[in-house]
Amino acid sequence: MEILRRGGANMKNSKAFVFCFLVAAVLTMTWLEGCLAEEKEKDMGKDKAWEIINTNIFKDNPGNKIVYVYNEPLTGGYEVKSWGKVYTVPENLKKTWFFFVDDQPDANWQHNCHYIFVDSETGKYTVIKSLTPPDSLEGMTIIYPKPNKN
């Protein structure tokens, strides 16, 4: 009879241990999710990056320019190719939004345009003047002027 009682006590201790372990695991996972959410909030989206360059560079008046944004952030070292030239995302940037600005959309090429890289964490930006577009606008979306949604 004594053996059965000790076994029962051990069983109760085991259940208590499993319960405490599960509670600790759930609390840890909740905490980690919160940390990850905070990290994601630090990285701005492309709309916020556009707001920064529209306000600071264009003074909220881009005029008749066409502005494209790459659909995903780029990482430091990524190369954007343009008619024999290569524009490299600064190495120190973990994530950056890439904007291409066509200053004269009605003209043939060899006219002013800009490559703009916006750091998704700090909002700091780098503007590079050019005369030619990226080799491909694939993966890019027009962010200005806003396309008509009919």
Residue 13 in this model has a pLDDT that exceeds 90 = no
pLDDT tens string 38-85:
444 467 999 999 999 999 999 999 999 999 999 999 999 999 999 989
pTM above 0.75, yes or no: no
For residue 31, give the H/E element and its range. helix 2-42
Tell me the per-residue pLDDT of 121-132, one tens digit each, with 9 for 90 and over.
999 999 999 999
Length of the chain: 150
Q: Average pLDDT of 140-145? A: 95
What pLDDT digit, counting tens, does each position of 96-127 carry? 999 999 999 999 999 999 999 999 999 999 99
Amino acid at 37: A
The H or E element containing residue 126 is strand 125-130
Q: Report in angstroms the alpha-carbon separations of 130 from 23, 83, 112, 120, 123.
A: 58, 11, 6, 23, 22
> Using 50, 70 and 90 to split pLDDT, how confident is the model at 4?
very low
- Residue 136 confidence (pLDDT): 86
At residue 92 the predicted structure's pLDDT band, cuts being 50, 70 and 90, is confident
Cα 19 to Cα 13, 24, 25, 34, 56, distances in angstroms:
10, 9, 10, 23, 55
pLDDT(31) > 90? no
